[in-house]
Amino acid sequence: MVEIVALAALVALAALALTFGVDSRPAFESHEHTLARRGITWDGVRPPATPAVRILTTPAPGEPYPTLRAIDAARGDVPPLAADPNAAELEPRARALTAEYWSEHVWMTGVVPHRAFERVAAALEQARAVPRDTATVLVMRETASARAPLAI
């Protein structure tokens, strides 16, 4: 008799679970699922490596601005830094930036992480864009009352 009551209670519980038992979560999820969404892996498979830039040219000995020429060769179809009128000032800046952002293995392997290359190239472009010799030009215009200088 006790077994029949236990079985009836179990059947009633199953019927109630089908009627009222609704899980509000979209799916069952563990803490590992949350970590996996953040990029953590357990099976040893690494995510794809970051893109890299290859510096394939080695400047000839005695060639002016070797660092700028190596960067220009990897940049492609943009105005070369080595041909800039301020290249003599850009070369020491390029050497300082590459020493700061690139590893010393770059000069042996020719492989530069893409972000590091873009950071150095952007800093050199910014240094190139700053005019070295700035002058203030005053244009005089004559008005009915007086002459007023206009700075342009």
Backbone angles phi, psi at 87, to 5 degrees: -60, -30
**Distance, CA of 79 to CA of 82 (rounded, Å):** 9
**Distance, CA of 134 to CA of 45 (rounded, Å):** 55
Predicted confidence (pLDDT) per residue in 43-65, tens digit: 665 655 667 777 766 666 778 88
Among 118, 102, 121, smallest CA distance to 110 is for: 102
Contact 121, 75 (CB under 8 A): yes
| pLDDT for residue 139 is more than 80 | no
Say whether pTM exceeds 0.85: no
Q: Domain-by-domain residue ranges, the chain?
A: 2-37, 52-129
**Distance, CA of 145 to CA of 149 (rounded, Å):** 13
Q: Of 20-24, 85-89, 132-136, where does the model show the most confidence?
A: 85-89
Predicted confidence (pLDDT) per residue in 23-50, tens digit: 666 777 778 778 877 777 766 656 556 6
